[in-house]
Amino acid sequence: MKRCLPILLLACSAAVAADFQAGVAKVKITPPTPFWMSGYSSRTNQSVGVVQDLWAKALAVRDPQGHRAVIVTMDLIGLHSSVSDEVFARAKKQFKLNRADVLLCCSHTHSGPVVGLNLNVMFDFSAEDMKRVQAYTADLVDKLVNVIGDSLKDLSPAQLASGHGSAGFTSNRRKVQPKGVTMEPNATGPVDQDVPVLKVTSPDGKLRAIFFGYACHNTTISPRPDPELDFYKIYGDYAGFAQLAVQKAHPGAEAMFTILCGADQNPQPRGALDYARQHGEELAASVEKVLGAEMKPLRAPIRTAFQEIKLDFAKHTRQTFEDEIKKAEEAKRPDGKFRIRRAKQMLAAYDKGRPIRQTRYPVQAIRFGNDFTLIALGGEVVVDFALRSKREFPNENLMVIGYANDVMCYIPSLRVLKEGGYEVDTSMVYYGQPGLFAEDVEEKVFEAIHQVMAKAGAGK
């Protein structure tokens, strides 16, 4: 009987290796220089140079039954639904991929280009600038569709495995004070230091792709950096440095990063390019530690699920925005021009008889057997959503992704909503949303999370 054991183990190993096919592809998405950058309303100039090129990378996976999933990562601030909807429609038409089978992830770098209508209130472009942004965005859509196709063409036998590390530079940035919530490091606020890692290797053990994430804003370059010139340079922030470091350690493999539920988290320290490099190297070291340890093999089948729901905003009237314009003009506050711009958009919607009462919201799950599950949530999701997901699915090996598929605004938990602050109120101005969410926002999202998890086979 003992003599049969090696043969049995070899057979099991071969079965795991044959479970999947995987394909990897990438395309450069660095904007032309100069170009308007996104993320900070305080920028008054276009980019002046490039520290790192920006990339879109695709990982396609197929199981023996032919089920497919494609994960696309981008060194971008986020996608508006007008962009992602077109990518999904073309992927369906060209590659027969269902909506649930494609996941679009962003790093949320604040040192990248303006993309389509994302954060549109932040900008008042000339006709020429708008034309350049539209041209970049149209080219981006073409590149995203093509990189999906290229990853599918690259499919070959592969093994998948997952593991978790940790990194300590993320910091809760919300401090509740008697006069309100300030944006500063809060050592007692909730954080998620998890670094989930998905490894893709060929049957001979060659590393092909490393997909990893972290719950922290890519805002190491803050609005008051030193030197100021770095504030106007294109690069991927700590996530860009992390990917470069992982790839340097593993030539030939592609490192793919996605931000997790880090909407209320900032890197510390911050304010200089060297800090971004420091954080990136720390994150890469965490990934390397996971790769060097025993990882959990993933098995077929691939199961995907998607649901789009509607999230309600708190009640508002036409008078709400007429008053906002008046107050902004009288107070002469720094964000006054943005509040006026947002209010005029809302009044225009009222004029058309279609005041904005809700926003679309995507929730997605991609599950590999009973071994590893991606929960992908749209918008800038605060850390509470990841922590609660892990509590409510204690037997699942989870990677809870934020900023996925459509970044329409911040998505607060009920706790954050009641506390108030930038994520709840001011940020909605820049996103062109009418204001606060209704208090059922968290419960609606979790109802959808449970539904897609059930459809993807969780608990079975």
Q: What's 82-103 look like in SS3?
A: HHHHHHHHHHHHHHCCCHHHEE
If pLDDT is split at 50, 70 and 90, which confidence band does 18 have?
very low
CA distance 292 to 209: 15
| pLDDT tens digits for range 411-427 | 999 999 999 999 999 99
Residue 10 has pLDDT above 60, yes or no: no
Q: Is 322 within a domain?
A: yes
Claim to verify: residue 35 and residue 111 sit in the same structural domain: yes
> DSSP assignment of 43-58, as one string?
--S---EESS--EEEE
Residues contacting 284, CB < 8 A, separation 6+: 241, 242, 243, 245, 246, 249
Claim to verify: residue 87 and residue 186 sit in the same structural domain: yes
Instruction: Say how many domains are in the chain.
Output: 2
In 3D space, the residue among 398, 24, 384, 37 whose CA is nearest the CA of residue 231 turns out to be 37
Q: Is 245 within a domain?
A: yes
Only one residue has tokens 């470091």, namely 245
Claim to verify: residue 251 and residue 330 sit in the same structural domain: no
Only one residue has tokens 């926002």, namely 441
What does the pLDDT average to over 121-147?
97
Residue 231 has a pLDDT of 93
Q: Encoding tokens for residue 246? A: 């992982």
If pLDDT is split at 50, 70 and 90, which confidence band does 9 have?
very low
Could you tell me what percent of the chain has a pLDDT over 70?
Answer: 95
Structural domain of residue 322, as residue ranges? Answer: 317-354
Q: In what order do the strands lie in the sheet with 372-377?
A: 302-312, 358-368, 372-377, 398-401
Q: Is the peptide bond before 113 cis (omega within 30 degrees of 0)?
A: no
Residue 12 has pLDDT above 50, yes or no: no
Q: Is 343 within a domain?
A: yes
Q: Is 452 within a domain?
A: no
Claim to verify: residue 414 and residue 328 sit in the same structural domain: no
**Amino acid at residue number 334:** P
Dihedral sign (CA 264, 355, 118, 129): negative
Residue 214 has a pLDDT of 99
Residue 14 has a pLDDT of 39
CA distance 188 to 205: 42
Claim to verify: residue 343 and residue 227 sit in the same structural domain: no
Dihedral sign (CA 432, 435, 441, 442): positive
Claim to verify: residue 273 and residue 339 sit in the same structural domain: no
What does the pLDDT average to over 419-436?
97
Claim to verify: residue 130 and residue 255 sit in the same structural domain: yes
Residue 460 has a pLDDT of 61
Residue 7 has a pLDDT of 39
For the question of whether the overall pTM of this predicted structure is more than 0.85, the answer is yes
What does the pLDDT average to over 378-407?
98
Q: Encoding tokens for residue 379? A: 């918008």
Residues contacting 408, CB < 8 A, separation 6+: 80, 81, 359, 360, 361, 378, 379, 431, 433
Residues contacting 370, CB < 8 A, separation 6+: 299, 457, 460
| pLDDT tens digits for range 188-233 | 999 999 999 999 999 999 999 999 999 999 999 988 766 778 999 9
If pLDDT is split at 50, 70 and 90, which confidence band does 275 have?
very high
**Alpha-carbon torsion angle 393, 398, 401, 404, nearest 10:** -90
Q: Is 436 within a domain?
A: no
| pLDDT tens digits for range 328-363 | 988 877 889 999 999 999 999 999 999 999 999 999
Claim to verify: residue 287 and residue 323 sit in the same structural domain: no
Paired strand residues for 367: 303, 373
**Alpha-carbon torsion angle 69, 75, 80, 86, nearest 10:** -50
Per the CB < 8 A criterion, the answer to whether 197 and 167 are in contact is no
What does the pLDDT average to over 70-90?
98
Residue 459 has a pLDDT of 75
CA distance 114 to 271: 21
Residue 332's Cβ-side half-sphere holds a number of Cα atoms within 13 Å equal to 0
Claim to verify: residue 368 and residue 335 sit in the same structural domain: no
Q: Is 433 within a domain?
A: no
Q: Is 181 within a domain?
A: yes
Claim to verify: residue 216 and residue 349 sit in the same structural domain: no
Claim to verify: residue 132 and residue 102 sit in the same structural domain: yes
| pLDDT tens digits for range 282-326 | 999 999 999 999 999 999 999 999 999 999 999 999 999 999 999
Q: Is 131 within a domain?
A: yes
Q: Is the peptide bond before 34 cis (omega within 30 degrees of 0)?
A: yes
Claim to verify: residue 71 and residue 122 sit in the same structural domain: yes
| pLDDT tens digits for range 158-182 | 999 999 999 999 999 999 999 999 9
Could you tell me what percent of the chain has a pLDDT over 90?
Answer: 92
